[in-house]
Amino acid sequence: MCGFAGIFHLETPKPVDPARVERMCDAIAHRGPDGFGVWTAPGIGMGHRRLSIIDIAGSPQPMASTDGRAMLLFNGEIYNYRELRAELAAQGAVFHTDGDSEVILAAYQRWGVDCVSRLAGMFAFAIYDLDQRSLLLVRDRLGVKPLFLAELSDGSLIFGSELKALMAHPALRREIDPLAVEDYLTWGYVPDHRSMLKGVEKLPAGHLMILKHGAPKPAPRAWWDVSFAERRKGSAADLSAELIHLMRDAVTSRMVADVPLGAFLSGGVDSSSVVALMAEASHAPVKTCSIGFDVKALDESDYARRIAQQFGTDHQSRIVSPNDFEAVDHLTAMFDEPFADASALPTWRVCQLARETVTVALSGDGADEAFAGYRRHVFQHGEDRVRGMIPAGLRQGVFGTLGRLYPKADWAPRPLRAKTTLLNLARSSEEAYTDAISVTGPALRDRLYTEEYRRLRGDYRAEQAFLDCMARAPARSGLDRAQYADLKFWLPGDILTKVDRASMAVSLEAREPLLDHRLIEFAATLPEVMRVKGGQGKWLLKDSMRRYLPDDILFRPKQGFVTPIAQWLRGPLAGEARKIAAQAKDGGGALGRMGWLNPINLNEIAEAHISGLSDHSRLLWQLLMLDRSLVHLGIA
């Protein structure tokens, strides 16, 4: 696991100043404290920061191929590198190191760009081909590892593992993209198709780009996709056996490391499953860690302790409290762009805890997206069954009218929010799911915006990109399309961004075995009844893990890694909520100086939350993180 940065001249291959590349790498030194290197040639500069995980003494980067015709920058892990190494060696490849980096170079020289489909792992890499005078940029299938890029006015393209690497280049403009504010307030993060800074791009997950001197920057090209269009046949027992085999392989392949290794353990289904399979494969106690909360209703640490005791792990646990709000500026610097997933705070804390004893930690991320584990998937499945029985015109007339008349009850659990269900049934499957996954809906956003911002935004609406993603999904059903969009949009934009930045901020490598692409492709072919059954999401996974885990762990209500932001903003952090509105009114703070948010409506929203009349905690947290991020980016 590492970080890298570079400069490529799209026009004339001018010399690259190595000191400039070094400064870009210094900005992401936390990603690789164990080694550093810079290489330049006419038109190209490549820099690398290394966190040593495999082949600790060898594999320095930038790395040259055996014949010196290609140079590599690589961030991530290739889990099948030993098999690929044996195959390539049998075909005449010569290796001088024991790591996976050299295997990528040998694979590229043997199979060219097509080598990417042979790599199983998490990765972002850049290969400069000296013969072709071209630069290949690649991002892994699901977007576990990030890759930012931007064209500059001098005809060069800069790229790096984090936005802060690009910000270290003096020629990068720091101008806010107004549309990114709409995206951010809708989703709670800036999705991969946009950046908070104008001119900055993110290479999409499962895409590559080939740049050549003297040619314009091309559009990214997809090299992988997942299809929900097929349905796997077989009994539940057969599918369960195949699933366990894939999970075992995914977990054991990610246990290869030359440094101490452990796991995050929340006590939920996914992390408990990973720990169970690790314990099965390990000769020594697995090192596990968890984070709890000072709000009992949201604290899962007792469940984590039970699993730790069952599998005899070496377990550590800590509590997160409102005092951790003082760490908000660390979060801001960690993510660069505004990021409002409040679970980022405990994720960072659990990464800090893990790093005290290990350098690599396995997580349970990805199973909810792949196997339909979120409550919204269960609701989507049920609502689609109703939609299929009633003509669209009748649904819109009857349910739409009832939904508008029914009183709103934000305080109630979603199954009791009849207004939400009725309105969802009146809409298309795609529209209802997009609304379910968004953080701030269009009506509330419009209350926030000033006329000046509405003019800048024009006709753009953030929901359209998600609707388009669902519409183009290779899928059979509404549940398929929802999961596809989760994997393509939500997962890389929110979940994987959170884990990458939080773990790399403390120089910890996080690995996600349940995002093994073979497991994802298998899950996408499961019949819906194997995903959602009896009101339970992730049915096949839960049923398969009954041989390892007790039912009260597998089938208890999903809790998630939830931070008690709502309670904090009504209690010890209520002053922060009021401060957001006050600054918008008097022009103080970054949001106030921006002038795009309505101070009167902001104050009403803050007071409604503090009084308990409404729950606006997510929006208030969004605004707080936006304010801090604008200051950090230097664009307020």
Query: Catalytic positions, please?
Result: 2
* Alpha-helical runs (H) found in 206-311: 236-253, 269-281, 301-310
The C-alpha atoms of residue 189 and residue 508 are separated, in whole angstroms, by 23
From residue 450, alpha-carbon distances to 255, 407, 431, 603 in Å are 52, 28, 26, 14
336's CB contacts (< 8 A; 6+ apart) are 162, 163, 164, 167, 196, 629, 632, 633
Cα separation, 523 vs 436, in Å, equals: 22
Residue 134, classified by CB atoms within 10 Å of its CB into exposed (0-12), middle (13-18) or buried (19+), is middle
In angstroms, the CA 400 to CA 410 distance is 18
| Residue 570 contacts residue 612 (beta carbons within 8 Å) | yes
Report the Cα 370 to chain-centroid distance in Å: 14
Strands 287-293 and 63-64: unpaired
Please count the other Cβ atoms lying within 10 Å of the Cβ belonging to residue 360.
25
Decide if 352 contacts 394 (C-beta within 8 A).
no
Alpha-carbon torsion (472, 474, 476, 477), positive or negative: negative
Q: Are 148 and 171 in contact (CB under 8 A)?
A: no
Amino acid at 165: A
